[in-house]
């Protein structure tokens, strides 16, 4: 068999979040909006960590704008380390929020 495409992995991740939203909305053990939102945040992190049956663990790393480091240094502030995107084979980030909105 072949490996999943980046598009397929993105879709799996979005489908997981949509399933969690549907589940949490109906979950009567979470009576308040705050409880439901906390559970949603938790389940998204579970999905990223690979602690669910449907998804593998994902790499989550800062990806700062190229100008941030220079600006932070000139302001005497710490800066985020740069990553090499050429070494990440299946980066699903970048448009997930728009993809989720399209699935509503």
Q: Where are the alpha helices (DSSP H) in the chain?
A: 6-26, 33-49, 68-74, 96-102
Specify the pLDDT at position 65. Answer: 87
- What are the extents of the domains in the chain? 6-102
- Does position 104 have pLDDT exceeding 60, yes or no? no
Is 59:83 a contact under the CB 8 Å cutoff?
no
- Cα–Cα dist 26/9, whole Å: 26
Q: Tell me if 54 sits within 8 A of 12, measured CB to CB.
A: yes
Q: What is the mean pLDDT of residues 62-76?
A: 90
**pLDDT value for 97:** 66
pTM for the model: 0.78
Place of tokens 């068999």: 1
Task: Look at the chain and count its residues.
Answer: 104
pLDDT digits (tens, 9 = 90+) for 13-42: 999 999 999 999 999 999 999 999 999 999
């Amino acid at each position: 068999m072949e490996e999943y495409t980046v598009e397929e992995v993105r879709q799996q991740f979005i489908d997981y979040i949509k399933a969690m939203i549907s589940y949490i909305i109906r979950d009567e053990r979470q009576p308040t909006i705050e409880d439901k939102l906390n559970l949603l945040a938790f389940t998204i992190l579970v999905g990223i960590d690979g602690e669910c049956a449907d998804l593998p663990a994902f790499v989550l790393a800062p990806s700062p704008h190229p100008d941030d480091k220079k600006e932070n240094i000139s302001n005497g502030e710490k800066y985020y380390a740069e990553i090499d995107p050429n070494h990440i084979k299946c980066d699903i980030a970048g448009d997930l929020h728009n993809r989720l909105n399209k699935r509503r």
